[in-house]
Amino acid sequence: MILDAIKNRYSVRHYKDQPVEDDKLAEVLEAGRLAPSGCNTQPWKLVVVRDRAVIRSMVHAIGGQQFVGQARVLVVACKNGEGYNIGHQYDGAIIDITIALDHMTLQAASMDLGTCWLGNYDGDEIRALLDIPPENPVVAILALGYPDENHPQQPRPRKPLGELVCWEKFKG
Ligand SMILES: Cc1cc2nc3c(=O)[nH]c(=O)nc-3n(C[C@H](O)[C@H](O)[C@H](O)COP(=O)(O)O)c2cc1C
């Protein structure tokens, strides 16, 4: 059930010292590959980092968040080309990439893997470390690994549905 994976997922900030199997990583990446995108543009490139030394060297660029160094995989999502022009207003690439990464977090959760979205990073520093060209901005990073059960976490609260949804017409 998708809802089970959604309910199981939380931001994992303590990872076990255990590698992620290649087949599981492949399934996580496949979940992203199959994600929808505006006009099927698929405007992303994922840099998958598994080298532990490189991961550790990226901690500084990712806001100095020390737990990132425990992750076994970092997925650095870069914009690659233009997305669909959403609502005739803006490039939808960021939406597309977000959907792909979210698919990946849920696939990971369904296999008892943990993820954490990372938005606190210095794009220029990441670019330099991973040879990412300037035309491929870093949109988000995902940490991936097995959660350390010694650090269980309560689900974070969410706004009630009534605050997030209105029916038929916008009501503030
Ligand atoms: C776009 C985005 C960027 C985020 N950046 C960070 C980050 O840099 N570091 C971090 O520890 N958590 C980060 N998070 C995780 C959020 O803090 C977390 O999703 C939120 O508090 C809800 O908690 P939950 O994921 O455990 O349900 C980010 C989440 C999103 C969606």
Would you say residue 82 lies in a domain?
Answer: yes
Q: Is the pTM of this model over 0.85?
A: yes
Judged against a pLDDT cut of 90, whether residue 69 lies above it is answered with yes
Number of domains in the chain: 1
Report the separation in Å between the CA atom of 89 and the middle of ligand 1, taken as the mean of its atom positions: 27
Quick check: is 157 in a domain? no
Domain assignment of residue 97, yes or no: yes
pLDDT above 70 covers a percentage of the chain that reads: 100
Average pLDDT, rounded, for the chain: 97
For residue 120, give the ligand 1 atom closest to its CA.
Answer: 8
Residue nearest to atom 14 of ligand 1 (CA): 117
How far apart, in whole angstroms, are the C-alpha atoms of residue 120 and residue 41? Answer: 27
Q: Which residue's CA is minimally distant from atom 9 of ligand 1?
A: 118
Arithmetic mean of pLDDT, 120-124: 98
* 90, part of any domain: yes
Q: Which residue has the higher pLDDT, 140 or 154?
A: 140
The answer to whether residue 163 is domain-embedded is no
* CA–CA dist 98, 100 (Å, integer): 5
CATH, residue 24 = 3.40.109.10
Per residue in 4-54, pLDDT tens?
Answer: 999 999 999 999 999 999 999 999 999 999 999 999 999 999 999 999 999
Q: For atom 29 of ligand 1, which residue has the closest CA?
A: 117
- Asked if residue 158 belongs to a domain, the reply is no
pLDDT score of 103 more than 90:
yes
Asked if residue 148 has pLDDT above 90, the reply is: yes
List the domain range (segments joined by +) for residue 83: 2-150
The set of protein residues with a Cβ atom below 6 angstroms from ligand 1 is: 10-11, 13, 63, 65, 116-120, 140, 156
In a domain, 135, yes or no: yes
> Ligand 1 atom 22: the closest Cα is on which residue?
156
Give me ligand 1 centre to Cα 13, in Å.
Answer: 10
Within a domain: 115? yes
